[in-house]
Structure 1
Amino acid sequence: MKRPTPQRATLADVATAVGVSRATVSKALNGRGDISDETRERVLAVVAELGYRSTTDPTPSPGRRSIAVVFDIPASPYIVGVLQGVLAATTEAGVDLLTRLAPDRSSRTQRAVAREWVAQQQASGVVGIIGLTLARPDGILEASSSAGLPFVMVDPVDAHHRQMVSVGSSNWAGARTAAEHLIGLGHRRIAWIGGPEVSDAARDRLYGYQAALDASGVEIDPSLIRAGQFAIATGAEFARELLTSPEPPTAIMAAGDEIAVGVLAIAHELGVSVPRSLSVMGFDDTPQAAWTSPPLTTVHQHLEGMGAMAVQTILVMADGHQPSSRHVELATSLMVRNSTGPVPAQ
């Protein structure tokens, strides 16, 4: 006699068991921040007990593997560049690629939320996760490690998980080379507009800039150093401050191309000629760098190569092997264009 197929738990079953609405259950599963922590914990406990899985989760094809890539801000040219490398590498390897937004920042540090999110990825057939500059990732890293699911971070941000595997660029060396280029052009008042202080990449680039100045005997002036987000608005805000100060810099180094675009915009608005009166340096070499006015001198990092390396590392780990290195750095190179020139004559 054929046994009846067990009925799959539904969202309504979870809501009834917890004593809340289906909307509240949905908010808990999606990491929304407008419900209490106590309610979220109760919902996730019942979800685990009933074995509930969303009906919208894709069913993995037999014999197919998939990798999930997760990020906070998909619109960045940097993210797009790395994603191109991820997509090319997964296509070549015959692996499916799933894109994911991480749980809400206010809830992703909660263990229950992180565990449930990771379980959802595994239920979708994911054999590994790639995080792209993902903020506050430790909860998800810990949950992935506990579940035996490989996780690779690209350019870590405020991550402290001891067993984290990461892929990045030689940020320190790249920034030092860029600063040495400006020093070689005669610049001594070189300002720095950096990225978030919690970003490993931004911090290493700042240290590279400082190392170049120190090695050349150029005094590091704290009044010329700023930090913000990797955004055009950051470059615009701090460039206005620096260029309207009593002693403006003759060169500005930006920790990212988007910051440099903001610097160029303000220089143009204030009538400061680039590079005759001001040299501007970027970092990343995103496609927009060649199309700014003037074209941007910047540090090239192999964004597609970083994405491809992350995929290769995930597949090695998914096959049960340890990566050759837990922290991979790809080489950078200086792309000299027209936004840098000799220090202006006094």
Structure 2
Amino acid sequence: MPSNAGRSTLATIAASAGVSVATVSKVLNGRTDVAPATRSLVQSLLQEHGYVARRSRRARAAAPATVEVEVASDLCAYSAQIIQGMIEAGAESGAAVVVTSPAVMADGGASWVRGLVDAGRRALITFGSEPAPAQLAALSRARLPVVVIDPMNLPDTPVTSVGSTNFAGGLSATRHLLDLGHRRIAYLGGIAGAASNQARMHGYRAAMEAAGIPVPAEYVRASGFCYPDGETGGAALLDLPLPPTAIFAVSDESALGAIQAARARGLRVPEDLSVVGFDDTEIAVMTSPQLTTVRQPLREMGGVALRTALRLAAGEKIESRHIELATELIVRGSSRAAGP
């Protein structure tokens, strides 16, 4: 954005109101020497243009760095580890982390962005959802950088994001089950359109295709990332006329739901059904048997997102718009060789 963009906006508003740029500046700064009718007109035009007053560089430099973190979904083991990584990185960087839920947008996000600026936020991190184009435009005008963690659907506007090697993780999970002799392997997915779900599913399909094993349509289910989703989806898979002998689930919570569905049907894990999850959250080792899963470096993802947001806020250039951290298969007790 050109450095004179803010003054150009003020000039446009001044011309529309029939006043000087100095008068518009007085309204922005809360000066009292402006007629009430003029003040009301200027404020209305400022809102109409989505103008966000920027604090001076000196004021921004003096204030401690604070990053807003918006979490669209319920807090769970997955999100808790990411937030922990942000907090640790913030402590190392001298920055504060404020966790909130998404705000209600009544005017395309302009008043929301004004609130972030007024509260001294230096950047925004989101996960579970992405800002809409109008919100991204308002954030850009205010020069508030955005970082998205594990994006569901990236907007058309370029946005910085942090994730993991989801395709490679799906590939390794499925290859593990194939190496154990399983051939009837199902994919218990998350939200159908989520980018991470799509990548994990494509990794699963690539492994099955490379092994020359056709995938029945009913073996791929789009459900959700949480425990109830796994329980419901797992039940549907296990009630098929020819049920799978192994399930690769999109998350640890979904995998544990599938295990519960198996137990409700008198099936043993891993003797009758092998299950592999994704994330390697703390709950993966709290169940019996402990869960074979694909580890995402969740704390590191949170730390990278926080440090990247601070770099962007400082005006630094980053090497890539999308940062992917490596996944790793962790083999535990929920998977074993296929039976005869």
Structure 1 length normalisation: TM-score?
A: 0.80
The aligned counterpart of 2:138 is 143
Q: Name the % identity.
A: 35
User: Aligned residue for 2:280?
Assistant: 285
Match 1:157 to one of 152, 161, 172:
152
In the alignment, what sits opposite 1:38? none
Q: Relative to structure 1, is the Cα distance of residues 48 and 327 closer, same or farther in structure 2, using a 3 angstrom cutoff?
A: closer
Work out the number of aligned pairs and report it.
298
2-structure distance, mates of 1:335, 1:303: 14
On the 8 A contact 1:44/1:116 being kept in 2, the answer is no
Give 5+ residue unaligned stretches, structure 2: 1-29, 54-58
Give yes or no for the alignment of 1:211 onto 2:187: no
SS in 1 for 2:69: strand
Q: How far apart, in 1, do the equivalents of 2:51 and 2:337 lie?
A: 68
Q: Does residue 83 of the first structure (1) align with residue 83 of the second (2)?
A: yes
Q: Where does residue 56 of structure 1 map in the other structure?
A: none
- Counterpart of 2:265 (choices 270, 279, 283) is 270
Equivalence for 2:225: 230
Within the alignment, does 1:252 sit opposite 2:247 as a pair?
Answer: yes
Q: Give the secondary structure class of the aligned counterpart of 1:219.
A: coil
Partner amino acid for 2:183?
R
Q: Conserved in 1, the CA contact under 8 Å of 2:169 and 2:329?
A: yes
Gaps of 5+ in 1: 8-12, 19-41, 52-58
Paired with 1:330 and 1:50, the residues of 2 have a C-alpha distance of 35
Aligned-partner Cα distance in 1 for 2:177–2:161: 30
Q: 1:293 to 1:142 in 2, by over 3 A?
A: farther
1:6 CA drift (Å): 4.2
Aligned partners of 2:212, 2:111: CA distance in 1, in Å?
Answer: 53
Tell me how far apart the structure 1 counterparts of residues 315 and 52 of structure 2 sit (CA, whole Å): 30
**How far 1:61 sits from its partner (Å)?**
9.8
Aligned mates of 1:192, 1:43 — CA distance in 2? 53
Contact 1:44 1:113 (C-alpha < 8 Å) held by counterparts: no
Residue 313 in 1 paired to residue 302 in 2? Answer: no
Name the residue aligned to 1:240: 235
Task: Let me know the Cα RMSD of the aligned residues.
Answer: 2.5
Normalising by structure 2, report the TM-score. Answer: 0.81
The CA deviation string for residues 282-339 of structure 1, in whole angstroms up to 9 with x for no partner, is 0000100111121110000000000000111111111112211100000000010000
Is the CA contact (8 Å cut-off) linking 1:242 and 1:248 kept in structure 2? yes
Question: Which of 1 and 2 has greater Rg?
Answer: 2
The CA distance in 2 between the partners of 1:135 and 1:68, in whole Å, is 14
SS of structure 1 residue aligned to 2:279: coil
Q: Does the aligned pair in 1 maintain the 2:71–2:101 contact within 8 Å?
A: yes
1:47, distance to aligned residue in structure 2 (A): 12
Deviation at 1:251, TM superposition (A): 0.3
Tell me how far apart the structure 1 counterparts of residues 251 and 52 of structure 2 sit (CA, whole Å).
Answer: 47
Q: Which amino acid aligns with 2:103?
A: P
Distance apart, 1:242 and its partner CA: 1.3
